[in-house]
Chain A
Amino acid sequence: MTNKLEAERPLSPHLQIYRPMLTMMMSIAHRITGAGLAVGFALLTWWLVAISIGPNAYAYVQDFFGSLLGRALLFAFTWALIHHMLGGIRHLIWDTGAGLDKQTIEIFALATIIGSIVLTVLVWIIGYYAMGGL
């Protein structure tokens, strides 16, 4: 009986019905970067634990982070962290009730994308510069 009722209940259109919009993609990106940061947290934990174990464990981690895969992971981690942070600040502003009009939302979305890319590249340039690689 209940199953029959549930089956006949009208369903609201889901994601695939709508034309993809920037703000909707940003909402999805906020979740994906958030989930990705769990991997980043595991990397940070690995790094800290290796330092607490000793020079050999640290050298092993540094070798991994220095590899192409390691650097790709760290670059993705940096971007996800900054993107999620800027997206989070956007959410905190919305929590106050401000910036919820259509135009501001679009500006926030663009600012988060451009800001996260620019800041990530900047962090890596400074990082390489600090290492004497530039």
Chain B
Amino acid sequence: MATPLKRVRGLGAAHHGTETFWRQRLTAVANVPLVIFLIWFVVRNAGASYNDVKACLASPVVAVLMLALIWSGAIHMRIGLREIIEDYLHNKLCKTASLMLATFFAALVGIASTLAIVKISFGG
């Protein structure tokens, strides 16, 4: 075979191959039912009292689905935000800083939401 090995492996310039592309699709598929669940949950709890919403969130099924949504959503959001930044920001410093911020933001909302769900689940 005359083809250079790096091309055969198909890992591209960033050496990550189609990993990001695939992860975006994987989380997209997961997000469809999870987003429908979120809409159902919010509509169901529209105008509900504090204790009712808290009790509903403390139910294991709701908590698991909510955690799945938060994690899948945060990963999907990080990929999407980075894609936009990579396409439109060309100043090296500005681009790098924005890419970092996108990850920090996804991590922040992900960690904060996770802690909230866990705290509510354990009755806090």
Q: Contact residues of A with B, CB < 8 Å?
A: 31, 34-35, 37-38, 41-42, 44-45, 48-49, 51-52, 55, 58-59, 78, 81-82, 85, 88-89, 91-92, 95, 123, 126-128, 130-133
Q: Would A41 and B43 count as touching, CB distance under 8 A?
A: no
Q: Would B43 and A126 count as touching, CB distance under 8 A?
A: yes
Task: Name B's interface SS.
Answer: helix
Q: Would B80 and A51 count as touching, CB distance under 8 A?
A: no
Q: Would B116 and A58 count as touching, CB distance under 8 A?
A: no
Q: With contacts A92-B25, A127-B43 known, is A48 near B32, CB below 8 A?
A: no
B60 within 8 A of A: no
Q: Would B120 and A52 count as touching, CB distance under 8 A?
A: yes
Query: Once the chains are docked, how many angstroms separate the CA of A116 from the CA of B43?
Result: 17
Q: With contacts A38-B81, A92-B25, A130-B43 known, is A45 near B109, CB below 8 A?
A: yes
Cross-chain contact of A123 among B43, B47, B112, B124 (Cβ < 8 A): B43
Cross-chain contact of A127 among B29, B46, B53, B66 (Cβ < 8 A): B46
7 CB-based A-B contacts, threshold 8 Å = A38-B77, A45-B113, A48-B112, A52-B115, A92-B29, A127-B43, A131-B47
Q: Would A51 and B39 count as touching, CB distance under 8 A?
A: no
Query: Once the chains are docked, how many angstroms separate the CA of A96 from the CA of B106?
Result: 29
